[in-house]
Structure 1
Amino acid sequence: MSKSPRHFILFRDIPLLYGRVPKVANSSIKTTLCKLLSNRPDGGIKTTADRFWRENTHGETQLVTPQQARRLRSSHFSFSFVRNPFDRLVAAYNNKILEIEDVPMPMKTMGLHHGMAFDHFIEIVCKSDPELMDNHVRPQAEMLLCANKLVPKFVGRMEHMNDHWRRLRRRMKLEGLPTLGAIPQKNVRREGRSDIRVLFHSAALIDRVIERYEEDFKHFYGDYSVDALLDGHQLNKLPPLQRGVVKAKKRQRTKQNA
């Protein structure tokens, strides 16, 4: 429930960075990444917590900012996943406002409270000071971009998780990195996505989100119409966003020919 600006998990012994985005299969991805640790982590703290990756991995990981992550782009492979902004906001509302009676402190600081109406939730989120925003509702572009440049070399979409996760595993193999296993399903709470259209019942609500999350729509969902994103049905499958594939293939050929 953090508002920390350190959005990337950096591995010490593997040239790997993960741009963690809350409410985007973050718990499942972190569970899988734990298998890359050499030493058994200290107990007592869930792997979903930032503190775990900062203090409980015997120094094998640390949290860094997008600026720090970008400076490592020539030596490290970085990846992340994103989610339809409308869907992500509904997920955050259901989980943090309706399901949990004691709303996380960063959300309380924003002015959010348990059981509040969705319209009021969106109003407060969209006018909040970026410095105070809880990361569960922070625009994904603010976590994954630096100087308007996308930091991760691979960005998959949660809507196509199975396919994009397989592609990520192939890309990591191409990069000479340890292969990740299948991704488990963690914290799955909703059946279907029909509630998106129900909650976003007015043009005013929709326009407010489009304005506040403009960079998310532009960088990650520009190929989809607003109606398609609001309908909540399975989106037409597109490939993940990738950079550096040609260079990775060239490096692999060089190693094989050495």
Structure 2
Amino acid sequence: MLPQLGLAYCRVPKAANSSVRFLLAKRFSITPPEAEPNLVPNKDRFWAAQPPGTAQCLTPVEFALLQAGPDRPWCFSFVRNPVARLYSAWNNKIVENRPLSPRFKKMGVTPGMDFASFVDRVAETVDADSNIHVRSQTSILTLDGQVLPDFVGRVETIVPDWNHIRYEMRVRTGRRVPPLWPKNVRAKAQPDIADRLPRSVLEKIIRRYHDDFARFYPYELRRLA
């Protein structure tokens, strides 16, 4: 949350998260803490180390309580097709980056494992025990069945959705925010990945992220059924 602006962003890893956080930090002149000058904005610690008046990291419960009060911030987020998001997480965190995070290791994930094997491990792990990059987007953005952000954009329609966010920011704060072009997102939306997967793998993903499909991508759920 950015208290001085009355704005909040609910981050969903692998859904334009790094691009959004870098842009917010640059536009509103938010810098790393003196103790860790090399911290970058896509890290949670970058925001957690800010003075309370500059930025605050809140739990879903804390944010819901804040939303019920008189100083309610306007909140936004982005989601991504669950299949493409999971594929991106596998490619970035398992194939490209090593070593693995402790949470991935606890899930039984191994370095360089193939995508089908990765899907097996993710499908067998509940959200509470999952690495944040493969937790369901519903578990991140909802509390007691209610979506916390006021506006949820999609990576697949990032240009018009970001333009809507820019409009809301300008109206609410008087501050203009630059475009967030698709080239700033680490990977393309890749909506066609689902069409290239074996049916058995795809069905596991659909079952694991059924709530994400039903809430944010119902048309894709119907298409893949």
**TM-score normalised according to structure 1 size:** 0.76
- For residue 21 of structure 1, the aligned residue among 7, 12, 16 is 12
Quick check: 1:24–1:88 contact (8 Å CA) kept in 2? yes
Asked whether the 8 Å contact 2:89–2:133 carries over to 1, the reply is yes
What is the one-letter code of the residue matched to 1:47? P
1:101: Cα distance to partner?
Answer: 3.0
| Structure 2 spans left out of the alignment, 5+ residues | none
Three-state SS of the structure 2 residue aligned to 1:78 is strand
Q: Which residue of 2 aligns with 1:52?
A: 46
122 and 182 in structure 1: CA distance in 2 versus 1, 3 angstrom threshold: same
The answer for the alignment partner of 1:125 in structure 2 is: 122
Is the CA contact 2:166–2:176 (under 8 Å) kept in the aligned structure 1? yes
The partner residue of 2:66 within 67, 72, 85 is 72
CA contact 1:36–1:178 (8 Å) conserved in 2: no
Which whole-Å CA distance do the structure 2 matches of 1:191 and 1:81 have between them? 12
Question: Is structure 2 residue 26 aligned with structure 1 residue 32?
Answer: no
Confirm or deny: 8 A CA contact 2:5 2:173 kept in the other structure: no
Structure 2 residue 162 is the aligned partner of structure 1 residue 171 = no
Q: Which residue of 2 aligns with 1:207?
A: 203
Q: Is the contact made by 1:41 and 1:58 (CA closer than 8 Å) also made in structure 2?
A: no
**Partner residue of 1:247?**
none
Residue 217 of structure 2 corresponds to: 221
**Cα distance, 1:174 vs. partner?**
3.0
Shift of residue 36, structure 1, vs aligned partner: 4.8
Matched letter for residue 215 of structure 2? H
Amino acid in structure 2 at the alignment position of 1:216: D
1:39 and 1:58 in contact (8 A); partners too: no
SS in 2 for 1:61: coil
- Tell me the equivalent position of 1:197: 195
How far did 1:192 drift? 5.2
1:81-230 to 2 correspondences below 5 Å: 81-176=78-173, 178-183=175-180, 185-186=183-184, 188-189=186-187, 194-198=192-196, 200-202=197-199, 204-227=200-223
Cα distance in 2 between the residues matched to 1:51 and 1:18: 15
Letter in 2 for 1:104: S
CA distance in 2, matches of 1:217, 1:40: 36
1:62 corresponds, among 56, 60, 76, to 56
Q: In 1, distance between residues paired with 2:48 and 2:130?
A: 21
Q: How many residues align?
A: 217
1:169 CA drift (Å): 0.8
Structure 1 segments unaligned to the other structure (5+ residues): 1-9, 231-258
Shift of 1:191: 9.0
TM superposition score normalised by structure 2 = 0.87
Q: Distance in 2 between matches of 1:82 and 1:164?
A: 11
Q: State the Cα distance separating 1:171 from its structure 2 match.
A: 2.0
1:214-242 Cα deviation digits (max 9, x unpaired): 111111011334547x9xxxxxxxxxxxx
